[in-house]
Structure 1
Amino acid sequence: MKTRIQRRISCLLLLALTLGATAQTKVDYCQPEYVRSVLNKVAKWQLDNPKRRAPNDWTNAVFFTGLYAAWEVTQSSFMYGAMMENGKSTNWSPYKRFFHADDIAISSTYIDLYLIEKKQKMLQPMIDTLARFVKEPYPVKGIEQIKYWWADALFMAPPVLVKLGQLIDRPDYLKYNDELYRQAYEMLYNKEEHLFARDLNFTIKNDRTDLFEANGKPLFWSRGNGWVIAGLARMLKELPSDYPERPFYENLFRQMAARLVEIQREDGLWSSGLLDISAYPNGEVSGSGLICYGLVYGINSGLLKGKKFKRAACKAWKGLTNCVSDEGRVNYVQGAGDRPSNRDFSDNTELYGTGAFLLAGSEIFKMK
């Protein structure tokens, strides 16, 4: 029979062995069931903690884009129900401005749901709005009728034009999108850095110090470039394989992906400002989630080949999941803006950050 001391020693040894085994257990962040559980947790938290925003504004548009992608891989009924309720609450209408990319972004989710439900009332308000978007000029002075004048627009509008053009057999919508995209590319894309300026205010060549990082390099916003590469992924997903302009979009996608992998942080994320990591205390989730989504789509579609992309994608996903609270709150999200910020985002969340996270996870789920 063991003495009390012997029993205590045995218990301590068992505890030590258990703790040692636990310490050695590694979470497989890319394992499908783990990804599914995280997607469900994050989506549920966000739906249970809504923001006071218009249900069809751009922040909700990005969230529901991510929610639909998450539903595709999880088939969670609460996600589908939430998307349907949101669409009904807006009468399936885009937001206020027919001419503004942000305000038609919600229509992407309407199209996705229409393809399942097949109810014309889910499509008609968008058809009417897109007809005006294509025909009428941008009614704001100084924009010179350029409708994709800022990087965010390349996520918000192109997938809608391409998807609707394909759906209702309007190839002119795809061609119009090509025209607008080329304008933005010529204005905003830096062909040396393979990154996009956020808008024309960040391309002016003069002595403005706010256009440069502390290390002297040009200012490139993480979320701005996240919008672009994620938007490219969403558009390439819809474009026919033999579409004449597809090689342009694919080459741009590969250039950006290669550059973004080069400047990834050790924690797996990307800084709010891309070219001066030391100036920013932590990674930023909305830009990082969008970039991660783009990279993993590239891997899954065969556009990106090589171990470096998969390593970067897995590293990014691990970094993103480390920013999620136990309850499912996605933290480290920069607030709405147009440029990098070096404030601490650790206690900040936004709908579009959650949407970016869900997009990234939906592709990670499918990665082999």
Structure 2
Amino acid sequence: MNKRWQVPVMLGMLLLGCKDPQSTGTDKYFKDFPDGAAPREVGQKVTERFLAVPYQNFGRPGEPNNLTYSEVCAWYGALTFSGQIKDTVLTRRLEQRFKPLLSEKADLVPYPDHVDYTVFGTVPLELYMQTGKQKYLEMGKGFADKQWGPPEGPRVTPESHIYYDKGLTWQTRMWIDDMYMITAIQSQAYRATGDLKYMERAAREMTVYLDTLQKPNGLFYHAPDVPFYWGRGNGWMAAGMAELLRSLPEENPDYPRIMKGYKTMMASLLKYQAEDGMWRQLVDDPGSWPETSCTGMFTFAMITGVKQGWLDKEIYGPAARKGWIALTGYINPDGDVREVCQGTNKKNNRQYYLDRKRIVGDMHGQAPVLWCTTALLR
């Protein structure tokens, strides 16, 4: 990290209330991993794979029309990993991948009129925090602010205005995926600026989603009219709550509600973890297949909770460790994660979920592995 940015960033970490993981006594569960499961080794391998492949297009040939949210989430994970291990060379290489988006590839930068596009801002904000370059702050902050600006563009619906008038983002959809996409960009804007408005926005949004969508068992249907607990959909929610709570000040009035929702979900997930450490395509369905993207997201949420002291380390520490070791067993020699569910729309049909394609190297699976490496090393 550029030395002139070390002091402000360190001060920012203190202001954000980030706890020292050493103080929680959790290291016994997050060290001495078997061969192939060391977080630094895995993080390096999966990051190198990320750098080696072209911009992704959901498995279709050619470049995407816009950078996909799944690539953005993997990029964010790679950057947090490089920052955590203080590998400035690796960070520069990740920055080099970004630079064409400021010039000849600028048309790939998504317009922030949808949660899947607005999450792009997490990457320039992370680059700003690691390099101190103002252009990245301005770019990322613009995405975060646009999310709470007035409804604008062809994606605006009558509901957009209703949500906006309630103080929520007009991009609200009541899809559980949103609670990673929205909280990630707003949390990053807070970490980069220290402005509490970003956390207040995200926290209020999260409470509305929890009150509307969370079931008594702590899990979430894929949609109100689709009574299935789809793995990755629940994974986005779990990871989103962990990302938000990691920086949300405890005095925020929405903090208790979000923590309750998070802990209720974690307790439920504990019951559905398979003996081998994996979670499944349909979380509560033992007849469905072990799926890696949800396993990575749930593992990330549990690692974070144990490290931060929110979860009982003697109960959740072993579960998080088991999940991580199981997940690393699905990474092939090239650094690609296997058994990743393809992009999935909702459908009120159990067999539809069981029959989804299982992809190798999809960014939906690469991303949470990288989040986990960072969380384990924090």
The verdict on a shared fold, with TM-score over 0.5 as the criterion, is yes
Q: Does 1:188 align with 2:213?
A: yes
| Counterpart in the other structure of 2:344 | 337
Greater C-alpha radius of gyration? 1
User: Does structure 1 residue 46 correspond to structure 2 residue 50?
Assistant: yes
Query: 1:265/1:164 Cα in 2 relative to 1: closer, same or farther (>3 Å)?
Result: same
> 1:220-268 CA distances to partner (integer Å, 9 max, x unpaired)?
1111111111111111222223323222222211111111111111221
Which shifted more, 285-294 or 307-316? 307-316
What amino acid sits opposite 1:230 in the alignment?
A
Query: For the residues of structure 1 that align with 2:276 and 2:101, how far apart are their CA atoms?
Result: 40
CA gap 1:171/1:363 in 2 versus in 1, 3 angstroms: closer
* Compared CA separation, residues 353 and 134, structure 1 to 2 (3 A): same
Q: Name the amino acid aligned to 1:359.
A: W
Q: 1:95-122, CA deviations, whole angstroms, 9 ceiling, x for partnerless residues? A: 4342311112121222122123222211
Q: Is the 8 A contact 2:341 2:359 kept in 1?
A: no
Aligned letter for 2:246? K
Is the 8 Å Cα contact of residues 239 and 301 (structure 2) preserved in structure 1?
A: yes
- Of 93-102 and 267-276, more deviation after overlay is shown by 93-102
Aligned to 1:234: 243
Moved more, 226-235 or 135-144: 135-144
Change (3 A) 1:171 1:51: closer
CA apart distance, 1:304 = 0.5
Alignment of 1:1-368 (within 5 A): 28-29=32-33, 34-53=38-57, 54=64, 56-77=67-88, 79-91=90-102, 95-137=109-151, 139-141=155-157, 143-145=159-161, 146=163, 147-148=171-172, 149-165=174-190, 167-168=192-193, 170-190=195-215, 192-198=216-222, 202-204=223-225, 211=226, 218-278=227-287, 280=288, 282-339=289-346, 341-343=353-355, 348-366=360-378
1:288 deviation in Å?
Answer: 0.8
Aligned to 2:4: none
**Whole-Å separation in 2 of the counterparts to 1:173 and 1:150:** 20
1:318, distance to aligned residue in structure 2 (A): 1.2
* d(CA) in 2 for partners of 1:33, 1:293: 15
**Stretch moving more, 307-316 or 181-190:** 181-190
Distance 1:56 1:85 in 2: 16
Q: Structure 1's 235 and 154: CA in aligned 2 closer, same or farther, altered over 3 A? A: same
Report how many aligned residue pairs link the two structures: 322
Amino acid at match of 1:134: W
Amino acid of the structure 2 residue aligned with 1:181: M
Q: Is the 8 A contact 1:29 1:317 kept in 2?
A: no
Contact 1:232 1:253 in 2 (8 A): yes
Q: For each residue in 1:121-178, what CA deviation from the matched residue of structure 2 results, as whole angstroms up to 9, or x when unmatched?
A: 1122333333332121374336444433211111112132233246445433333333
Q: Which whole-Å CA distance do the structure 1 matches of 2:145 and 2:313 have between them?
A: 42
Q: Is the 8 A contact 1:39 1:358 kept in 2?
A: yes
Show structure 2 runs of 5+ residues with no match: 1-30, 58-63, 164-170, 347-351
Distance in 2 of aligned mates of 1:254 and 1:32: 30
Structure 2 match to 1:9:
none
**RMSD (CA atoms):** 2.7
* TM-score using structure 1 length: 0.78
Identity %: 21
Q: Does the aligned pair in 1 maintain the 2:187–2:243 contact within 8 Å?
A: no
